[in-house]
Amino acid sequence: MSLQAEIIRLLGVKPSIDADEEIRRRVDFLKEHVQSSRASGLLIAISGGLDSAAVAGLCKRATDELAQETGSDYITLGVFQPYGDQEDIGHSYETAKALGLIHTVETNIEDTVDEIALEVEHGMKNIGQYRHLSIPGKGNVQARTRMIMQYALASELNLLVAGTGHASESITGFFTKWGDGAADIMPLSSLNKRQIRQIAAALAVPDSVLNKAPSAGLWAGQKDEQELGISYEDISDYLEGKQVEPAVQKRLESYYTKTKPKRSPIPGI
Q: What is the pLDDT of residues 185-202, one digit of tens each?
A: 999 999 999 999 999 999
Q: What is the pLDDT of residue 218?
A: 61
Q: What is the pLDDT of residues 143-178, one digit of tens each?
A: 999 999 999 999 999 999 999 999 999 999 988 888
CB–CB of 160/58 below 8 Å?
A: no
Does the pLDDT at position 217 exceed 70? no
| CATH no., domain 3-109+146-263 | 3.40.50.620
Q: Which residues of 226-237 are buried (b: 16+ CB within 10 A; e: fewer)?
A: eebebebebbbb
Cα torsion angle, 178, 5, 194, 23, sign: negative
Q: First-to-last CA distance in the chain?
A: 30
Q: What angle do CA 15, 203, 164 make, to 5 degrees?
A: 65
Mean pLDDT of 83-104: 94
DSSP annotation of 211: T
Judge whether 81 and 153 are in contact, CB under 8 Å: no
| Predicted TM-score (pTM) of this structure | 0.94
Bridge partners, 41 (sequence order): 75
For position 109, what pLDDT does the model report? Answer: 97
pLDDT at position 265: 85
Choose, from 169, 180, 184, 237, the residue flagged as catalytic.
Answer: 169
Sequence-ordered alpha helix ranges (H) in the chain? 3-11, 19-36, 50-70, 89-99, 110-125, 135-157, 167-170, 193-202, 207-210, 224-228, 232-239, 246-258
- Look up 253 and say whether it is catalytic: no
Q: Which of 217, 45, 52 is nearest to 138 (CA)?
A: 217
Q: Is 224 a catalytic residue?
A: no
Contact indicator for 108, 82 with CB cutoff of 8 Å: yes
Partners of 80 in beta bridges: 106
The chain-wide mean pLDDT, for the chain, equals: 94
Phi (first) and psi of residue 77, to 5 degrees: -100, 120
The string of pLDDT tens digits covering residues 9-44 is 999 999 999 999 999 999 999 999 999 999 999 999
Q: Kindly name the residue from 22, 51, 180, 237 that is annotated as catalytic.
A: 51
How far, in Å, CA of 36 to CA of 43, rounded? 16
Q: Which residues fall within 8 angstroms of residue 103, CB to CB, at 6 or more apart? A: 75, 76, 77, 78
